Amino acid sequence: MNDALYHDRIVALAKSRTGAGRLPAPTASARRDNPLCGDRVTMDVRLEEGRIAEIAHEVRGCALCQAAAVALRSRAQGRPADDVPVLRQEIEDVLKGTAAGEGNFAAFTPVRAYRSRHDCVLLPFEALQAALNNS
Amino acid sequence: MNDALYHDRIVALAKSRTGAGRLPAPTASARRDNPLCGDRVTMDVRLEEGRIAEIAHEVRGCALCQAAAVALRSRAQGRPADDVPVLRQEIEDVLKGTAAGEGNFAAFTPVRAYRSRHDCVLLPFEALQAALNNS
Amino acid sequence: MSVDVAAIRRQFPILNRPINGKPLHYLDNGASAQVPQAVLDAVHAYETTSRANVLRGVHALAEAATEAYENARAEVAQFLGVPAEEVMFTGGCTAAINLVAHSYGSLLRPGDEIVLSELEHHSNIVPWYQLAQRAGLRLRPLPVTDEGRIDVAGLPQVVTERTRLISLAHVSNVTGAVLDVAAVVAAARAVGARVMLDGAQRAPHGPLDLPGLGIDFYAFAGHKAYGPNGIGVLWARKELLEAMPPFMGGGSMIGNVTFEAITWAPPPRRFEAGTPPIGPAIGLGAACRWMMEQDWTALGGHEMALTQRLMDGLAETSSARLIGPAGLQGRLPVISFVLDDIHPHDVAQILDSRGVAVRAGHHCAQPLMERFDISGTTRACIAPYNDTGDIDALIDGVRETVRRFA
Amino acid sequence: MSVDVAAIRRQFPILNRPINGKPLHYLDNGASAQVPQAVLDAVHAYETTSRANVLRGVHALAEAATEAYENARAEVAQFLGVPAEEVMFTGGCTAAINLVAHSYGSLLRPGDEIVLSELEHHSNIVPWYQLAQRAGLRLRPLPVTDEGRIDVAGLPQVVTERTRLISLAHVSNVTGAVLDVAAVVAAARAVGARVMLDGAQRAPHGPLDLPGLGIDFYAFAGHKAYGPNGIGVLWARKELLEAMPPFMGGGSMIGNVTFEAITWAPPPRRFEAGTPPIGPAIGLGAACRWMMEQDWTALGGHEMALTQRLMDGLAETSSARLIGPAGLQGRLPVISFVLDDIHPHDVAQILDSRGVAVRAGHHCAQPLMERFDISGTTRACIAPYNDTGDIDALIDGVRETVRRFA
Ligand SMILES: Cc1ncc(COP(=O)(O)O)c(C=O)c1O
Ligand SMILES: Cc1ncc(COP(=O)(O)O)c(C=O)c1O
């Protein structure tokens, strides 16, 4: 059953670590912790005229959290900062099972059945939103 | 079953109220409360050369407590103050079922089965002992 | 009466147990009510199919336990008419009131005042007394009328600009009187004070609409509301909870812990330190569900008809005196009485020999006993599973007691 | 091995429940252990034959409930090797520690010091932190060795003339290390300090002899010791209890109540405000009885043989690192490990898919995670009902996890 959770796509996303690290000169940053499990995500963002030019993430967390950070970066880079709530809604819909999810977001479909892991997926979204709110 | 508790002898002892009231000039007095049930006993005692010359009791309590005060008075009056612990031991033995009890004390045999009521019977003994300790 | 009492009785296994060879007439519901099979089943299912610690685990049992626990919170919230995140599980009603006294109480200043009443249960007096001693506050008791009601006409005398909180029994555990909540809320609002209700004796009589009452805090006990022991509920408005520091410290109520600084989790977790009473909470959730499934218009009618029958029986016993409202208006089926010259414990003991379980004593309301200058009362509290046989057995026993001691 | 594990397993109904179509391998005992049938039966008997409030009632159910409740206290006392009147029932281990922090803590003065350690559970940190903030005390943590033991060699550096209390885990809930109690007691006695042990992880492994340890306070949780949720135990020496003010206020813990002055009942009642967790206490009494009926020489051997098997299996997994003592000396079967570059939650989740229940995360011991510079561990805790199949399933799962993330 929950072997399905760690299917190749999630593991590949997590292991790719695309965009992992910090930005040299971020417009804004934010860190978010999940005290229940100890996960921690730091998001750096560089904005150019309201657009997200670049994102970097530092994740001390599980594979779901790492994969979500990578996926979020790939979907958010290049888009207006105002689109982030839309992406957040999309991932929530995937977790609820009411949307299939575009691109990498579809990889999170199996997480739906594991309510205690939803926060792992959402943490990077929260950190990114917090960074944007700081900017 | 527990109708046996309120057999004629206990009810008669309680209703007799022999010795109820206060002494005009007690050698010593003490009040004891049972906060769990709200029972309250005041014992006045007049001593003459180490002997209990007279006892009076004021009981705000149940029939068992009233009957015990009457019974204790009848057994303790005229005896040396030092005998009170012996009487206390005797009534405890009656409540435990290890003694039949002399005189009026025998009336308390059926209380044995009602552990929550043992304190009702013991309260006058505690008040009398406290009064003697005060003297 | 449209209530099928026999069908209700069948749901409560203990009612089949004989007492001293006689059928059990359980009228001590105000001390602890009995549990329906649905509650026993819910706890048993947890213990045998999904027992685990909650919130922190990722395995299947932990997921199931967490879901059952949070579902219980949702059931309780629905029962109270409030959002789930405003509901905290505590160890009992007493623990819930102590939580407010410590947490909300720590925000009060010397000279601030708390209004209580003369009919409060010790659980709604002692925590405030302790707080008053710690923090230099003043307690101001509202008087009680001869009918055994909190005298809201006394509000102007005790509510002042220094009043911060008015904490009162929603229903008296001795007289059954229902509080005039609107009058209290109006008096509180006029001076910016908060209102807390001790709902221990109200909750067992059906769903509530707390937002409609306009109050700020509500507490009740699981075991008096057909749930297990070891569980109680505190409800409070979210704005208040967010401003309140935690009470007990431990696992799950923290944000981050170092020896230098500790941050707190948001409510309700902030107020649930350590492993919560998971099984008892699940049982209480089932009890609230059970209550929500009943027809309380019919059940209330049934309970009050039995109350009337009991009051009528007592009225025919010349030595009996009711402590509480004589009519059915503004009261619930908590009925206290005294018999001339017969101690309540003796009454209760003779009733017990006839299978009738009532409570006798001060009912943890010593100030009220002083108010009526009595050492205690004999008290019957009626639940949906009680029937006319229970009431008649009680009245017969009272008559026998009077005869015995005449 | 003389332990009939199959016979023990049959006493725990939940172990028959399949997980994801596979047999349940429950190794999350440190979070909550499972309950034997004897405990379920004891609680069920109370709920269906003698449920009533305790201490204040005179009817047959109240007598039976009171007797069962006090009998549970006696069972717990026997389990701990102490007199029953020194045993208090609380809502949990966390609640027991908070009781001491509030009650005993109120006797401390600004500048007084409390010694803890870096490996404490948050439940044995946060209450002291809150007390320190309230009362101006200083917390002094003992360091932890690389093996995951409280470093008693550090006692001379942190114990001073101002030390009033040393409160430490008897057994670490992360590393399984057993405290060197004698060294702690000696250091405490030298300065007149009191010693409290958090026995949450020790109690599930058999009867104790608290007087022999020379300590002053002991706390443990029912749900980790095969009992129900919502119940914990505090033991303290009678002289201490008599000098301590109450913590929570409510029914049953008072002497006399007026609005002007309140007097307290003697211990243990002084510390049990309100209706106690009667059913849960009765369940814990049955759990203690169950533990006292086992042969712990054999069971301890069984638990430690499984521990060795698990440590051997991990040693063959090159990316696994144990957090805790490598040998069996001075430890209990609480086994934590980390896998290079794989998050504990991922380990636990994959294990769950194979029916293996373990805990992953910081285990409410954030300062210890900082000490080892890790975000969390995967933890297995072994109980008498675990068998070699459980350990082998865990090791297989760990190997599969490593393969998956390689
Ligand atoms: C060492 C230790 N202390 C205290 C606790 C707290 O126990 P509880 O959460 O049952 O109150 C735990 C378990 O969570 C523990 O492992
Ligand atoms: C009105 C009232 N308040 C508070 C309580 C305390 O509830 P508990 O003892 O369950 O904490 C009770 C019952 O004992 C009560 O009747």
Q: Which residues of D178-198 are buried (b: 16+ CB within 10 A; e: fewer)?
A: bbbbeebbebbeeeebbbbbb
Q: Is residue C314 located within the same domain as residue C372?
A: yes
What the block records as the tokens of D297 is 């020489």
Q: Is residue C254 located within the same domain as residue C374?
A: no
pLDDT at A2 over 50: no
Position B2 scores a pLDDT of 44
Q: Which residues pair with D89 in a beta bridge?
A: D233
C214 lies in which domain range?
Answer: 50-292
Q: Is residue D14 located within the same domain as residue D103?
A: no
Residue C35 lies in a domain: no
Position C1 scores a pLDDT of 52
Position A7 scores a pLDDT of 83
Pairing between β-strand C217-221 and β-strand C194-198 as defined by DSSP bridges: parallel
The chain-wide mean pLDDT, for chain B, equals 92
Chain C residues close to D115, C-beta within 8 Å: none
pLDDT band for position A134 (cuts 50, 70, 90): confident
- Model's pTM, two decimal places? 0.95
Q: Is residue C143 located within the same domain as residue C247?
A: yes
Q: Is C344 in a helix, a strand, or coil?
A: helix
CA-nearest of C96, B26, A61 to D249 is C96
pLDDT in tens, A63-116: 999 999 999 999 999 999 999 999 999 999 999 999 999 999 999 999 998 888
Residue D37 lies in a domain: no
Q: How many pairs of residues across A and D have Cβ atoms under 8 Å apart?
A: 54
Cα D94 to averaged position of ligand 1 atoms, centre (Å)? 6
Q: Which residues pair with C334 in a beta bridge?
A: C381
Distance from CA of C61 to the nearest CA of D (A): 8
Q: Is residue C168 located within the same domain as residue C249?
A: yes
Residue C311 lies in a domain: yes
Q: Which ligand 1 atom lies nearest to the CA of residue C252?
A: 9
Burial-class residue D293 by CB neighbours within 10 Å (0-12, 13-18, 19+).
Answer: exposed
Q: What φ, ψ does residue D87 adopt, rounded to 5°?
A: -105, 125
Helix (H) or strand (E) holding A11: helix A8-16
In D, minimum Cα distance to A2 occurs at D353
Beta strands, E only, chain A? 28-34, 39-48, 51-60
Residue D308 lies in a domain: yes
What residues 179-218 of chain D have any CB closer than 8 A to a CB of chain C?
Answer: none
pLDDT band for position B5 (cuts 50, 70, 90): confident
Question: What is the distance between the alpha carbons of residues C95 and C247, in angstroms, rounded to a whole number?
Answer: 10
Q: Is residue C10 located within the same domain as residue C104?
A: no
Q: Is residue D263 located within the same domain as residue D396?
A: no
Position B107 scores a pLDDT of 94
Cβ separation of C254 and A35 shorter than 8 Å? yes
What residues 178-207 of chain D have any CB closer than 8 A to a CB of chain B?
Answer: none
Residue C40 lies in a domain: no
Q: Is the CB of C91 under 6 A from ligand 2?
A: no
Distance from CA of B117 to the nearest CA of D (A): 7
Angle at C215 between CA C214 and CA C221, to 5 degrees: 135
Q: Is A119 in a helix, a strand, or coil?
A: helix
Instruction: Say what angle helices C278-293 and C60-80 make with each other, to 10 degrees.
Output: 40
Q: Is the CB of C144 under 6 A from ligand 2?
A: no
Q: Which ligand 1 atom lies nearest to the CA of residue D172?
A: 1
Question: What is the CA C286 to chain-centroid distance, rounded?
Answer: 17
Q: Could you give the C-alpha distances from D18 to A2, B53, D13, D24, D357, in angstroms and in order?
A: 14, 78, 11, 6, 12
Supply the DSSP symbol for C91. Answer: S
Q: Is residue D299 located within the same domain as residue D284?
A: no
Cβ separation of D343 and A11 shorter than 8 Å? no
Angle at C99 between CA C98 and CA C103, to 5 degrees: 120
pLDDT in tens, B25-48: 999 999 998 877 778 999 999 999
The domain tally of chain C equals 2
pLDDT band for position A29 (cuts 50, 70, 90): very high
Supply the DSSP symbol for C294. Answer: S
**Which residue numbers in chain D have pLDDT < 50?**
none
Position D314 scores a pLDDT of 97
pLDDT at B4 over 80: no
Q: Which ligand 1 atom lies nearest to the CA of residue C275?
A: 9
**Which residue in the set A33, A36, A117 is minimally distant from C55, CB to CB?**
A36
Pairing between β-strand D334-339 and β-strand D254-257 as defined by DSSP bridges: unpaired
**Is residue C331 a contact partner of residue C174, using CB atoms and an 8 Å limit?**
no
CA-nearest of C130, C122, C142 to C101 is C130
pLDDT at A22 over 60: yes
pLDDT band for position A3 (cuts 50, 70, 90): low
Question: What is the distance between the alpha carbons of residues D208 and D229, in angstroms, rounded to a whole number?
Answer: 21
What the block records as the tokens of D388 is 């070699």
Question: What is the distance between the alpha carbons of residues B48 and B79, in angstroms, rounded to a whole number?
Answer: 10
Distance from CA of B118 to the nearest CA of D (A): 11
Cβ separation of B1 and C405 shorter than 8 Å? no
**Is residue D347 a contact partner of residue D339, using CB atoms and an 8 Å limit?**
yes
Rounded to whole angstroms, the maximal C-alpha distance in chain B is: 45
Last residue of a domain, one of C292, C313, C333: C292
Q: Which chains touch B (3 or more CB pairs under 8 A)?
A: C, D
**Is residue C251 a contact partner of residue D359, using CB atoms and an 8 Å limit?**
no
Q: Is the CB of D173 under 6 A from ligand 1?
A: yes
Q: Is the CB of D202 under 6 A from ligand 1?
A: no
**Which residue in the set A33, A35, A117 is minimally distant from C58, CB to CB?**
A117
Last residue of a domain, one of C249, C266, C292: C292
Q: Is residue C364 located within the same domain as residue C301?
A: yes
Q: Is residue C130 located within the same domain as residue C271?
A: yes
Q: What domains sit in chain A, N to C, each tagged with a CATH number?
A: 8-134 (3.90.1010.10)
Closest-lying ligand to the alpha carbon of C123? 2
Q: Is residue C146 located within the same domain as residue C245?
A: yes
Residue D316 lies in a domain: yes
Question: What is the distance between the alpha carbons of residues C317 and C314, in angstroms, rounded to a whole number?
Answer: 5
For C21, left (φ over 0), alpha (ψ -120 to 50), or beta?
left
Q: Could you give the C-alpha distances from D402 to D274, D343, D397, in angstroms and in order?
A: 52, 11, 9
Position A116 scores a pLDDT of 83
CATH number, domain containing residue D230: 3.40.640.10
Closest-lying ligand to the alpha carbon of C223? 2
What residues 35-64 of chain C have any CB closer than 8 A to a CB of chain A?
Answer: 55-58, 62-63
CA-nearest of C211, C196, C193 to C101 is C196
Residue D55 lies in a domain: yes
If DSSP states are collapsed to H, E and C, what string results for chain D? CCCCHHHHHHCCHHHHCCECCECCEECECCCCCCCCHHHHHHHHHHHHHCCCCCCCCCCHHHHHHHHHHHHHHHHHHHHHCCCHHHEEEECCHHHHHHHHHHHHHHHCCCCCEEEEECCCCHHHCHHHHHHHHHHCCEEEEECECCCCCECHHHHHHHCCCCEEEEEEECECCCCCEECCHHHHHHHHHHHCCEEEEECCCCHHHCCCCHHHHCCCEEEEECCCCCCCCCCEEEEECHHHHHHCCCCCCCCCCEEEECCCCEEECCCCHHHCCCCCCHHHHHHHHHHHHHHHHCCHHHHHHHHHHHHHHHHHHHHCCCCEEEECCCCCCCECCEEEEEECCECHHHHHHHHHHCCEECEEECCCCHHHHHHHCCCCEEEEECCCCCCHHHHHHHHHHHHHHHHHHC
Position B124 scores a pLDDT of 97
Q: Is residue C283 located within the same domain as residue C312?
A: no
Burial-class residue B38 by CB neighbours within 10 Å (0-12, 13-18, 19+).
Answer: buried
Chain C residues close to B117, C-beta within 8 Å: 345, 349
Residue D65 lies in a domain: yes
Q: Is the CB of C401 under 6 A from ligand 2?
A: no
Question: What is the distance between the alpha carbons of residues A34 and D34, in angstroms, rounded to a whole number?
Answer: 28
**Which residue numbers in chain C have pLDDT < 50?**
none
**Is residue A59 a contact partner of residue A91, using CB atoms and an 8 Å limit?**
no
Q: In chain C, helix, strand, coil percent, each to 5?
A: 45, 20, 35
Pairing between β-strand D113-117 and β-strand B39-48 as defined by DSSP bridges: unpaired
The separation between the first and the last C-alpha atoms of chain D, rounded to the nearest angstrom, is 38
Q: Which chains touch C (3 or more CB pairs under 8 A)?
A: A, B, D
Position C191 scores a pLDDT of 98
Question: What is the distance between the alpha carbons of residues D75 and D285, in angstroms, rounded to a whole number?
Answer: 5
Question: What is the distance between the alpha carbons of residues C98 and D102, in angstroms, rounded to a whole number?
Answer: 12
pLDDT band for position A1 (cuts 50, 70, 90): very low
Supply the DSSP symbol for B94. Answer: H
D21: contact with A, CB 8 A cutoff = yes
**Is residue C64 a contact partner of residue C42, using CB atoms and an 8 Å limit?**
no
Question: ipTM above 0.90?
Answer: yes
- In total, chain B counts a number of residues equal to 135
pLDDT in tens, C9-46: 999 999 999 988 899 999 999 999 999 999 999 999 99
CATH number, domain containing residue C335: 3.90.1150.10
Q: Is the CB of C56 under 6 A from ligand 1?
A: no
Question: What is the distance between the alpha carbons of residues A109 and A94, in angstroms, rounded to a whole number?
Answer: 6
Catalytic residue numbers of C read 364
Q: Which chains touch D (3 or more CB pairs under 8 A)?
A: A, B, C
pLDDT in tens, A34-64: 877 778 999 999 999 999 999 999 999 999 9
Position B3 scores a pLDDT of 56
Touching, A vs B (3+ Cβ pairs under 8 A): no
Question: What is the distance between the alpha carbons of residues B111 and B17, in angstroms, rounded to a whole number?
Answer: 20
pLDDT in tens, D253-291: 998 899 999 999 999 999 999 999 999 999 999 999 999
- In total, chain A counts a number of residues equal to 135
Q: Is the CB of C50 under 6 A from ligand 2?
A: no
Last residue of a domain, one of C292, C307, C325: C292
